[in-house]
Structure 1
């Protein structure tokens, strides 16, 4: 992202403000805005914020935390308003305590540690994300409605796709922010859209995902629309996924997942990595799908996985192996949705895959056929395991997964589970319209 920006260069470009960006435990984007005059203070890592006010960081007794900018992520942003276009600089930050030690709630630092572990084994994690969202019209007061604004389906065009202009504007703003766009189109459900951008190093893609979501929200708003990354806004329609395409690259730049002499085109490294992901899929579910609503997407019939399985080019499996081989050989992990914290998600996925490689975890047989079909899902000895059906079950599996505890640390692990348990309990205590219609 860094394009040679310096304090002097920013002054020449009339950039007055610098955005120090970071992420809380549950994936919410945060930022502190400072004036250009505080540039040196910021780049020296001397800007403080109140960690007790941000989920997952610290208590009131030790609330001062430091924002440590990652200079490689420094980039120019251009936002438009009614008064015209105004440039700001932005940089992603790690969060540290006053001694310079990564704060316990800094998921960006967690991902760094997982990447360092991979590097020790000779690998670098590459990630590509498929970004899905809905566009909703606003009412007269500027509040989002729950009425979709078009009747489009997969890859439809105007007038069925009424979000075409907004989607194109989003893609253009992304390009101005340094994204390399691969494709954008209307998705399966009315009002639903997908934009894919170029894969890259895991840490860079996690940063870009946070920027992508902000761009979508901003551009939609100035076009009189509201963008939602909610996993399942409507019953009976496809929901928003965050499919993650993963590959390991060796130090010599060779894709470690490809083997030209194997029948599948997959290396033994890829097989072990897939096995590790499957082994920890249940434990990772509360991170990949962290909301009550997440599990309403994971139902048969909507191209979302419901069983723990892998398959080639089969969108009903937890893990799909796309057909491309050679440098493009990759593993598509299909459960995650856009409410996941990308740093934490990438950290645990990588750790699971590396564990599979290190322990030489055997790869189970490939699942063949439509896994929504019970006869197919029950194939083999004992059949296929089910993916968790709700957040409560996901948390039970997470509590049993020591790998995730190791990534997060005891305190943060317990904090995450307790907060998500409270969310599940709050939902269970509510009486919903469906219940009124069914039982009143």
Structure 2
């Protein structure tokens, strides 16, 4: 929609409030609501926020060394609405919403995850390439019991690939489907996943930026609707010991200027074009360094277990769910690669950026991924394949040591991210858990 069309929509529908949202480094939805009569003003000038919002940790501390707080005297930035992201907010009365881009001194703010993704996409555009992405997100729904703890929304096992009132008593998934459809999502399907109270949504592939916007929005809509329904939806990597992990699987293909999927090549090895092989090669080359962005919390690493359908060893294979990167069997327009390392808690802008940055390194340097693995990779050993970094601390060290990947991801983003995550690790390191007391207190 154009500005004039949006003005007409505001007038015709009695809109009185406009949300301007943006993603912080965690992927948390930040922003402000402004009166609708200020629409033209905010399109031109944006809204004002402190840059230090990207140094705010989830316990409300300000992380030291982020580059956006005391280093710049806690200065401001403008969040300028991207009018192409216009949508209604069906569960809020008379409200529309935009995703905004942070700007400082009339330049894209280099600490913005969305700006960084746009920067990487511009590099692909120089090669006349247009990345196409599809998200698959798993999450848990919990009932809040008023005692400070949560119970499974559906507490019975063996409900995978089902969808009925027995696994969705409050019809929350159907409500999500309706809301998302009204917001312009092309929903493919949703279902109960493997573990109790775990669900998955899939929607149709799209341009990388649009898919990142939709994934960011999806997570926020889930959180807000659950709150209105007295439920809790969480995208934690593994929320409980008696539950498995939640993944953020990302499917990547590549279109040329004419909209043709150039990963497909019927005459190529395994029906794959060399560009696709090199894209895979880059992802494999930088798999360890990119893990910090794909699995960004201390909790994310509880998901990397043997026999968990999350990667444990780093390898790629054909239609194989035990590997880091899977190439589904479809060819033609559906030729694609699936990165299975993503944790549902990942910031979609940073996760998609990380894969595309690594893939672009592979394309530019013609990195050969080697032969695909066949069999059950969980039965392999570290003597043959490298393991995933199995803690956030190790992932940060891998990121720090891969200077080419850091340059590709943007030094400001890496600085901000590293500062936030080092502070998170220190909080975790100094916290006494229930396990420690139960394990040690009696005998020691």
Which TM class, normalised by the smaller chain length?
over 0.9
- Which position in structure 1 is the counterpart of 2:307? 301
User: Aligned match of 2:98 in 72, 91, 96?
Assistant: 91
Q: Is 1:72 aligned to 2:84, yes or no?
A: yes
Q: C-alpha deviations, 1:243-298, integer Å up to 9, x for none?
A: 00011111111111111123411111111000100111100111100001000001
Once the two structures are superposed, the pairs formed by residues 37-436 of structure 1 within 5 Å of their partners are 37-55=37-55, 58-59=68-69, 61=73, 63-80=75-92, 86-97=93-104, 99-140=105-146, 145-152=150-157, 153-158=159-164, 160-162=166-168, 165-374=171-380, 377=381, 382-436=383-437
Write the distance in 2 (CA, Å) between the matches of 1:275 and 1:216: 35
Q: C-alpha deviations, 1:345-403, integer Å up to 9, x for none?
A: 222211110110111111122111111113xx46xxx5111110111110110001123
Write the distance in 1 (CA, Å) between the matches of 2:95 and 2:182: 13
SS of the residue 1:44 aligns to: helix
Write the distance in 2 (CA, Å) between the matches of 1:4 and 1:263: 51
Partners of 1:2 and 1:74 within 8 A in 2 = no
Write the distance in 2 (CA, Å) between the matches of 1:124 and 1:73: 19
Partners of 2:281 and 2:367 within 8 A in 1 = yes
Rate the CA distance shift 1:387–1:195 in 2: closer, same or farther, 3 A.
same
Write the distance in 1 (CA, Å) between the matches of 2:397 and 2:2: 42
Residue 2 of structure 1 deviates from its aligned partner by 7.2
- Comparing 253-262 with 5-14, which one deviates more in the overlay? 5-14
Write the distance in 1 (CA, Å) between the matches of 2:165 and 2:99: 39
- Which position in structure 1 is the counterpart of 2:59? none
Write the distance in 1 (CA, Å) between the matches of 2:334 and 2:291: 26
Partners of 1:126 and 1:201 within 8 A in 2 = yes
Write the distance in 1 (CA, Å) between the matches of 2:413 and 2:122: 20
Write the distance in 1 (CA, Å) between the matches of 2:175 and 2:300: 28
Gaps of 5+ in 1: 81-85
Partners of 1:2 and 1:75 within 8 A in 2 = no
- Comparing 274-283 with 413-422, which one deviates more in the overlay? 413-422
Write the distance in 2 (CA, Å) between the matches of 1:262 and 1:104: 39
SS of the residue 1:73 aligns to: strand
Q: TM-score scaled to structure 2, two decimals?
A: 0.91
Residue 62 of structure 1 deviates from its aligned partner by 5.3
- Which position in structure 2 is the counterpart of 1:6? 6
Write the distance in 2 (CA, Å) between the matches of 1:164 and 1:243: 27
Task: Figure out how many residues of one structure are paired with residues of the other and give that number.
Answer: 428
Rate the CA distance shift 1:222–1:26 in 2: closer, same or farther, 3 A.
closer
Write the distance in 1 (CA, Å) between the matches of 2:355 and 2:3: 31
Q: C-alpha deviations, 1:205-261, integer Å up to 9, x for none?
A: 111111111221222233332111111012253211000001111111111111112
Q: TM-score scaled to structure 1, two decimals?
A: 0.92
Write the distance in 2 (CA, Å) between the matches of 1:425 and 1:115: 34
Alpha-carbon RMSD: 2.0
Residue 414 of structure 1 deviates from its aligned partner by 2.6
Write the distance in 2 (CA, Å) between the matches of 1:223 and 1:75: 22
SS of the residue 1:243 aligns to: strand
Residue 158 of structure 1 deviates from its aligned partner by 3.7
- Which position in structure 2 is the counterpart of 1:83? none
- Comparing 176-185 with 146-155, which one deviates more in the overlay? 146-155
Write the distance in 2 (CA, Å) between the matches of 1:236 and 1:220: 22
Gaps of 5+ in 2: 56-65
Partners of 1:320 and 1:333 within 8 A in 2 = yes
Rate the CA distance shift 1:411–1:159 in 2: closer, same or farther, 3 A.
closer
